[in-house]
Amino acid sequence: MTKERVLVTGATGYIGGRLVPRLLDAGYQVRCLARSPKKLADRPWAGHPEVEVVRGDLAEPESIERALSGCTAAYYLVHSMLAAGDEYADKDRRMARDFAAVASRSPDLKRIVYLGGLGETGEGLSEHLSSRREVEDELQAGSVPVTVLRAAMIIGSGSASFEILRYLVERLPVMITPRWVQTELQPIAVRNVLEYLVRLLEVDETAGQVLDIGGAEVLSYRELMQIMARALGVAPRKVIPIPILTPHLSSLWIHLVTPLSHRIARPLAEGLRNRVVARSTAAHDLMPQKLLTVRESIDEALGNYESDHVETSWSDAGPIPGDPDWAGGTTFTDRRTAEINAPPAATFRAVCRIGGGNGWYAADLLWRVRGWMDRLVGGPGLRRGRRTSDRLAYGDALDFWRVTGIDEGRRLELRAEMKLPGEALLEFEIDSTDRGSILTQTARFKPLGLFGLLYWFAVLPLHGFVFRGMLDGIQRTAEADPRVDAEPTAIVEPSVSK
């Protein structure tokens, strides 16, 4: 018999995107609330008959009311990871307050579930952990019972904290660190977190409870780094803690060495000074399961990278701006075409392989230099990569680009997220011909002020190497593709609501 309907907010995020299919496996009907429903179009579960995706925003109470209608439980998995001070903390409090108020008026709703952060109570919590506590308080102020799970570092392929750890250990044989490397923590595998999130709906005793969840081991960050080194097969890392490194300096260093921006790294770095260890075993007593060790968790995460099976990534979440308004003002265009002796499907597959570990077909050194420069000024650079090696979907991060349009076999649109004095778009359009296909590659740039104009003319001489070389590389790859009627490389955007 079909179980009750539950609402998942934050389904485009790291945990929410993995929770939905596990709720479906447990027999629940799932409604997902998303600002950009198209970002869920490529999820394997998007077409499941028990999934409903509705457009809405937690900043709009009417959206919350529509989303909660008929739901018996709601997962609140939304929290800012941007180091932007009181503005974002205030926004998080307002959204949680509105959600609790609307939930209190929802006749069917029996439970709210929130995933927060571990940390000793009282004074001294980081701004990020304090904000999570405030969200807890706002949700608990309503009349609907709230189950809070508090987790420390979540180890899983694609998680922000795991990415920081992996890149730091992989790239730095010697690390000068703040004193927080001595801080104790209790990491938990994402698999264990998800099992807790699903099972708690079946355990009535968890209603209204705050439950600490952690993995099988308590250790220091220094010990965690050495376990990661062994898992990666690199030599033990030399860790030198010094007292003068501030969270700000640490976040800048993380920004330069890892794929994460300093705005996301800052709250994570601040939180490292807090001891994050479960204070009770109540969660495990109520919902027993095999807790993975740190090494088992890391091996599983690294295995997902190797098998190209990363379900969700920290870069999935967040708003996607609307397309730039190209009308009015100066817009520079670089348009190039190529006749390709391959069907549109093969050409589209070749287009969809750009970026990440696949490279950009030509002038890779120039791309790497541009990525390095972008990191220095606070941009994402190239280290963000891509979620999978041969598939792209709406909303995917692609190095310092974002997929803002995709049409199977015909079109791919990327919008630049690198630091630029203007707005940039890169578009690929494919038309069928009797002999194969025609690929049109268009780069548009709308400059912002004088610096925007200077930037365009400064990089213009490089376009022959970069864009012409990219077009030629796509042509070579498409014409060498032995497949003609292969499986789709991208998912066409389906209907997102029922």
CA distance 234 to 38: 40
pLDDT for 276 equals 85
Mean pLDDT rounded to a whole number for the chain: 84
Beta strands in 35-133, from DSSP E residues, in sequence order: 51-55, 73-76, 111-117
What are 477's two structure tokens?
A: 């790859």
pLDDT at 250: 66
- Per-residue pLDDT, averaged over 11-31, amounts to 94
HEC string for 259-320: CCCHHHHHHHHHHCCCCECCCCCHHHHHCCCCCCCHHHHHHHHHHHHHCCCCCCCHHHCCCC
**Cα–Cα distance, 301 to 188 (Å, whole number):** 12
Contact indicator for 265, 251 with CB cutoff of 8 Å: yes
Q: Give the model's pLDDT for residue 494.
A: 40
Q: What are phi and psi of 341, to 5 degrees?
A: -85, 60
Q: What is the DSSP letter of 35?
A: S
Confidence of residue 325 (pLDDT cuts 50, 70, 90): very low
- Please state, in angstroms and rounded to a whole number, the distance separating the CA atoms of residues 395 and 404: 6
Domains delineated in the chain = 5-315 (3.40.50.720), 320-480 (3.30.530.20)
Q: What does the pLDDT look like over 148-201, one tens digit per residue?
A: 999 988 999 888 888 888 888 888 888 877 777 788 899 999 999 999 999 999
Q: Is the pLDDT of residue 102 over 90?
A: yes
Q: In this structure, are strands 29-34 and 210-213 parallel, antiparallel, or unpaired?
A: unpaired
Give the list of residues 6+ apart from residue 464 with CB closer than 8 angstroms, or none: none
Write down the pLDDT at residue 162.
85
CA distances from 477 to 3, 208, 399 (A): 48, 57, 20
Q: Which residue has the higher pLDDT, 218 or 162?
A: 218
Task: Quote the CA–CA distance of 46 and 286 in Å, as a whole number.
Answer: 32
pLDDT digits (tens, 9 = 90+) for 348-374: 999 999 998 888 998 888 888 888 888
Q: What are residue 272's phi and psi, to 5 degrees?
A: -65, -20
Is residue 329 over pLDDT 80? no
Which DSSP string do the residues of 234-264 spell out, in sequence order?
-PPPEEEE-TT--HHHHHHHHHHHSSS-HHH
Statement: residue 122 has pLDDT above 80: no
Distance, in Å, from the CA atom of 40 to the CA atom of 411, rounded to the nearest integer, reads 19
For β-strands 73-76 and 111-117, DSSP reports them as: parallel
Residues 13, 77 contacting (CB under 8 angstroms)? yes
Under DSSP, is residue 496 helix (H, G, I), strand (E, B) or coil? coil
What mean pLDDT comes out for the span 15-22?
A: 94
**More confident call, 243 vs 442:** 442
Would you state the pLDDT for residue 495? 39
Give the number of other Cβ atoms within 10 Å of residue 485's Cβ: 7
- pLDDT computed for residue 318 by the predictor: 57
* DSSP-derived 3-state class of residue 419: coil
Weakest-pLDDT range from 11-25, 173-187, 415-429: 173-187
Tell me phi and psi for residue 115, to 5 degrees. -100, 110
Q: What pLDDT is attached to residue 422?
A: 87
Statement: residue 261 has pLDDT above 90: no
Query: Is the CB of residue 404 less than 8 Å from the CB of residue 416?
Result: no
pTM for the full predicted model: 0.69
CA distances from 18 to 24, 181, 314, 318, 479 (A): 11, 30, 12, 16, 37
Task: Name 432's bridge partners.
Answer: 437
Check whether 475 has a pLDDT greater than 70: yes
Give the per-residue pLDDT at 375: 82
What are 306's two structure tokens?
């190797």
pLDDT band at 282 (very low <50, low <70, confident <90, very high): very high
Count CA atoms within 13 Å of residue 391 on its CB side. Answer: 18
Higher pLDDT, 269 or 66: 66
CA–CA separation, 106 and 83 (whole Å)? 33
Of 42, 153, 10, 45, give the one whose Cα is nearest residue 386.
42
Token pair of 16 as six digits: 């929410």
Question: Percent of the chain having pLDDT more than 90?
Answer: 48
Band of residue 482 on the pLDDT scale cut at 50, 70, 90: confident
Grade residue 493 by pLDDT with cuts at 50, 70 and 90: very low
Q: Is the confidence at residue 74, as pLDDT, over 90?
A: yes
Nearest-5° angle of CA 55, CA 7, CA 48? 75
Question: What value does the mean pLDDT take over residues 16-40?
Answer: 93
pLDDT band at 448 (very low <50, low <70, confident <90, very high): confident
Q: How many CB atoms lie within 10 A of CB 429?
A: 17
Residue 206 confidence (pLDDT) above 90: yes
Name the maximum alpha-carbon separation found in the chain: 72
Q: Binning pLDDT at 50, 70 and 90, where does residue 300 land?
A: very high
